[in-house]
A and B are shown apart, each in its own frame.
Chain A
Amino acid sequence: MEVKLLSARFDIEDGHKIEVAKKNGAYATLDKLFAMEPGEVIEEVKASGLRGRGGAGFPTGLKWSFLPKGLDKPVYLAVNSDESEPATFKDRYILVKDPHMLIEGIIICCYAINSHDTYIYIRGEYVSQAKALQAAIDEAYAAGYLGEKVAGHDFRLDVTVHRGAGAYVCGEETALLESIEGKKGQPRSKPPFPAVEGLYGCPTIINNVQSIGSLPFILTNGADAYKAHGTEKSPGTHLFGISGLVEKPGMYELPLGLPLMEVIEKVAGGVKGGKKLKGVIPGGSSTPVLLPEEAATTTLDYESMAEHKTMFGSGGIVVLDEDVDIVKLVKNLIDFYHHESCGQCTPCREGLGWMLKIVKKIINGDGTMDDVNLLRELCDNIEMKTVCVLSAACTMPVRSYLDKFRHEFEAYVQ
């Protein structure tokens, strides 16, 4: 089932080194790129149907076209390599195994949006990964693919790695910009959107590592070749991270649109130890859980996830077996989001704290049915009343556990 468009060079020995990567096609599309008009590049990316791989699935080409025209301000590209949502572990493979695919993607994007300065925001915990990425950037400078004249063309491009320091919220695009500016990572109110007023007050595009990493394939082979994979509304492939209680966890590149259960069974070997399935988290810890009967009719694309009232998210699939204690799992989730709240909105800072207290009380055996109902009510009252969606990233899944596994909460309070 695997289709290796982005991971084509992952298994090549020393594929992260520029010489090896080049022998295997890296940077080969730049002549074509510079022969095109920037607008044509944007149209090609639009035509490919590529959707942002950071979680929200916003069409990449469309995002670029929101940049205001005719401004005399610089345009910035910020590449989001924060990868901190529990169960998300895909971008790291690009950074380490094929960093030149990312750099080539950055060149393509920057040419299309007329930007000359890129910041790659990488989470602080990725110490060796940041070193590997910097080494690849140094190679690209030395080979003339970055710097004053990219590949000999009259186009300057500088790429700087900016390390985060342990704050999940900095994956949120405006918190990420604050963090590059040297401030604490507190998301900004939108509008203005970053495409109009972003980094240093200038128009800025923020894209996920995998979104940018998909560009070399699209430009080299054309939008149609990309669209040949996946579904009509969710074209292409995705690096899925499968984890949890499953036989063969790991990162697999798959076309979108495959049946979720077939992927869990055939690609990832099924539930660990032959146990019974209790549920599937389809796209990272913030996405609502699917019951086995729902998972059975879900396919791995944006539309099917929406039909099943959940989200495609970041492609981090988590398998839950029959032994998982849902109430304790919910405590673990709330704990994470509460800990990572930036603190500027009361409903998020205080609300997630209340939710944590209540679920702890329930687990300790001191909870009542009123507490279960209050937990459910809090989910509705916190959501959409905050500056960013970190609070919703907590309440959306928690609500799904409360609704779909209510009996487990009730068992604790009886």
Chain B
Amino acid sequence: MSDRSKLIETGTPFQFDPERDAEFERLVTRYPTRESLILPGLWLIQEQEGWVCAEAMAYLADRIGTFASKIYEAATFYTMYNLHPMGEYHICVCRTLSCYLLGKQQIVDYLKEEIGIAPGEISSNGKFSLEEVECLGHCGTAPVVQLNGEFHEDMDVEKMKALLATCK
């Protein structure tokens, strides 16, 4: 697992854009405590910026009216919150049971070779990041790859090659 204890500062203050602001305010009415907004708030930050910087966490603490430590706790525990910028194309390959049985390793090996990074790394030009992840809930069409949140099923090296070709 990558180091999830380091928080990165960008040096510029963060705030929600109008669309996220409205969604945040809608969510305020849905929970009896404001701390329930921590996970949804972190999602809104990540949707807006692609990752979660230290300033955004401080901003969220402020908006919710809670301790910044509570935001850090959630942001560092839940592995889907990116604590640093990811590649423009973020590729997740499922590594568990059914995908393992149906050859996920060939896809990982191909990607390592083709984009020159190991799982957990980001390519030096910032174009790709690669991760091996746990069961993605599509085991009947294993092996499965998620590219920027979109599922690609029944994968093999050929299909992975074709998918990479769409990453311009």
Residues of A within 8 A of B (CB): 74, 83-89, 92, 123-128, 158, 160, 162-168, 179-185, 200, 241-245, 249-251, 281, 285, 316, 318, 320, 324, 329, 332-333, 335-336, 339-340
| Other contacts beyond A164-B80, A183-B35, A339-B1: 7, CB < 8 A | A86-B97, A92-B137, A163-B43, A164-B39, A166-B78, A184-B77, A318-B101
Is the CB–CB distance between A243 and B142 below 8 Å?
A: yes
Residue of B at shortest CB range from A126? B137
Asked if B139 lies at the interface with its beta carbon under 8 angstroms from chain A, I say yes
Q: Cβ of A160: which chain B residues have Cβ within 8 Å of it?
A: 27, 30-31
How many residues in B have their beta carbons less than 8 Å from beta carbons of A? Answer: 44
- Asked whether A181 and B36 contact (CB < 8 A) given A86-B96, A243-B140, A333-B97, the answer is yes
Scoring B32, B42, B101, B141 by chain A CB atoms within 10 A of each residue's CB, the highest score goes to: B101
Return the contact of B139 from the options A128, A316, A339 (Cβ within 8 A).
A316
Q: How far is the CB of B56 from chain A (nearest CB, A)?
A: 15
CA distance A335 to B36 in the complex (A): 31
Asked if B146 lies at the interface with its beta carbon under 8 angstroms from chain A, I say yes
Q: How far is the CB of A92 from chain B (nearest CB, A)?
A: 5
CA distance A335 to B135 in the complex (A): 12
Is the CB–CB distance between B134 and A163 below 8 Å?
A: no
Is the CB–CB distance between A84 and B135 below 8 Å?
A: yes
Nearest 9 CB-CB pairings of A with B:
A165-B78, A166-B80, A182-B38, A184-B77, A86-B97, A182-B35, A86-B135, A243-B98, A165-B80
Q: How far is the CB of B24 from chain A (nearest CB, A)?
A: 14
Q: Cβ of A83: which chain B residues have Cβ within 8 Å of it?
A: 137
Task: Render B1-18 as a binary contact track against A, CB cut-off 8 A, 1 for contact.
Answer: 100000000000000000
Asked if B166 lies at the interface with its beta carbon under 8 angstroms from chain A, I say no
Residue of A at shortest CB range from B92? A125
Q: Cβ of A84: which chain B residues have Cβ within 8 Å of it?
A: 134-135, 137
Asked if B100 lies at the interface with its beta carbon under 8 angstroms from chain A, I say yes
Return the contact of B140 from the options A127, A158, A251, A324 (Cβ within 8 A).
A251
Q: Cβ of B43: which chain A residues have Cβ within 8 Å of it?
A: 124, 163, 165
Q: How far is the CB of A159 from chain B (nearest CB, A)?
A: 9
Residue of A at shortest CB range from B79? A166
Residue of B at shortest CB range from A168? B134
Is the CB–CB distance between B97 and A285 below 8 Å?
A: yes
Asked if B138 lies at the interface with its beta carbon under 8 angstroms from chain A, I say yes
CA distance A340 to B96 in the complex (A): 12
- Asked whether A318 and B32 contact (CB < 8 A) given A87-B135, A127-B149, A162-B40, the answer is no
Is the CB–CB distance between B74 and A125 below 8 Å?
A: no
Is the CB–CB distance between B1 and A183 below 8 Å?
A: no
Asked if B73 lies at the interface with its beta carbon under 8 angstroms from chain A, I say yes
Q: How far is the CB of A46 from chain B (nearest CB, A)?
A: 30
Is the CB–CB distance between A125 and B80 below 8 Å?
A: yes
- Asked whether A285 and B96 contact (CB < 8 A) given A84-B135, A164-B39, the answer is yes
Asked if B150 lies at the interface with its beta carbon under 8 angstroms from chain A, I say yes
- Asked whether A184 and B134 contact (CB < 8 A) given A128-B149, A324-B101, the answer is no
Is the CB–CB distance between A162 and B39 below 8 Å?
A: yes
Task: Render B144-162 as a binary contact track against A, CB cut-off 8 A, 1 for contact.
Answer: 0010011100000000000
Residue of A at shortest CB range from B31? A160
Is the CB–CB distance between A245 and B36 below 8 Å?
A: no
- Asked whether A200 and B80 contact (CB < 8 A) given A89-B138, A123-B137, A285-B96, the answer is no
Is the CB–CB distance between A332 and B100 below 8 Å?
A: yes
Asked if B102 lies at the interface with its beta carbon under 8 angstroms from chain A, I say yes
Return the contact of A339 from the options B37, B73, B97, B134 (Cβ within 8 A).
B134
Q: Cβ of B66: which chain A residues have Cβ within 8 Å of it?
A: 182
Is the CB–CB distance between B135 and A184 below 8 Å?
A: no
CA distance A111 to B136 in the complex (A): 33
Q: Cβ of B97: which chain A residues have Cβ within 8 Å of it?
A: 86-87, 243-244, 281, 285, 318, 329, 332-333, 336
Q: Cβ of A182: which chain B residues have Cβ within 8 Å of it?
A: 33, 35-39, 66, 70, 74
- Asked whether A180 and B36 contact (CB < 8 A) given A167-B79, A168-B134, the answer is yes
Q: Cβ of B81: which chain A residues have Cβ within 8 Å of it?
A: 165
List 22 contacting pairs A-B, 8 Å CB cutoff, sorted by A. Answer: A84-B137, A85-B135, A89-B139, A125-B133, A125-B136, A125-B146, A127-B150, A162-B36, A162-B40, A165-B81, A166-B78, A184-B77, A241-B139, A243-B140, A244-B98, A249-B141, A249-B142, A285-B96, A329-B100, A332-B100, A336-B97, A339-B134
